[in-house]
Amino acid sequence: MLLRVARCTINVVPSQAICERSYCIDCAGVIRWSLSPKLSVVTQNNPSAVLTAKATTTQIVVLYDGQCNFCTSQVKNLARLDGRDRMRFVSLHDPVVARDYPDLSFDQLMEQMWVIAYDGRRFGGADAIRYLSRQLPMLWPIAPVMHIPGTMPLWRYLYRQIAKRRYKIAGRNCDEGGTCSLHQ
């Protein structure tokens, strides 16, 4: 779609978004497009600007194994530490995950927790914990340890070892339909 705004033609290319065309121009000449409540794009007032709708949300999305008792207890801890409703928790078994995050396979989701940042970046496992240590003030005390140069291979290894044994640590919580047996 081509849009003409004050001597400026802007090519808006929505990617997988239903556009609600609303915009405003601030004092610096920056055009702020609101494509939907959870999508927004900002560009300089430039005739050749191409806007692609990139998902930005008001919450960090945490994808976790909702059938894992250990994972569920850790999600409850994160929710308690959050305190300001910055995060949304979604079980990887929820059908909405496959629809909203098609780039993450079921196997990837089963391997580790995934965090989708405000700007759409994805962090998995220890990298997700590291990211959250910067976002949640209650986790700031562990941030310096998580950011010691050269230690990420160790944190990733430790995370993988716990993730592999998560069902042995705290068990599984299956619904009455027996969906656990479908995912083994």
Would you say residue 162 lies in a domain?
yes
What parts of the chain have a pLDDT lower than 50? 1-56, 176-178, 181-184
Would you say residue 184 lies in a domain?
no
Does one domain contain both 91 and 126? yes
Which pLDDT does position 57 carry in this prediction? Answer: 63
Which pLDDT does position 175 carry in this prediction? Answer: 61
Would you say residue 180 lies in a domain?
no
Are 59 and 116 in contact by the 8 Å Cβ rule? The answer is no
Q: In terms of C-beta density within 10 A (0-12 exposed, 13-18 middle, 19 or more buried), how is residue 37 classed?
A: exposed
Q: What SS3 class is residue 38?
A: coil
Which pLDDT does position 184 carry in this prediction? Answer: 45
Does one domain contain both 20 and 36? yes
Count the domains in the chain.
Answer: 2
Q: Tell me which residue range forms the domain holding 98.
A: 60-171
CA quadruple 55, 122, 98, 168: dihedral sign: negative
Are 41 and 52 in contact by the 8 Å Cβ rule? The answer is yes
Which pLDDT does position 7 carry in this prediction? Answer: 39
**CA–CA separation, 162 and 178 (whole Å):** 24
Final residue of a structural domain among 34, 52, 70: 52
Does one domain contain both 40 and 73? no
Which pLDDT does position 170 carry in this prediction? Answer: 87
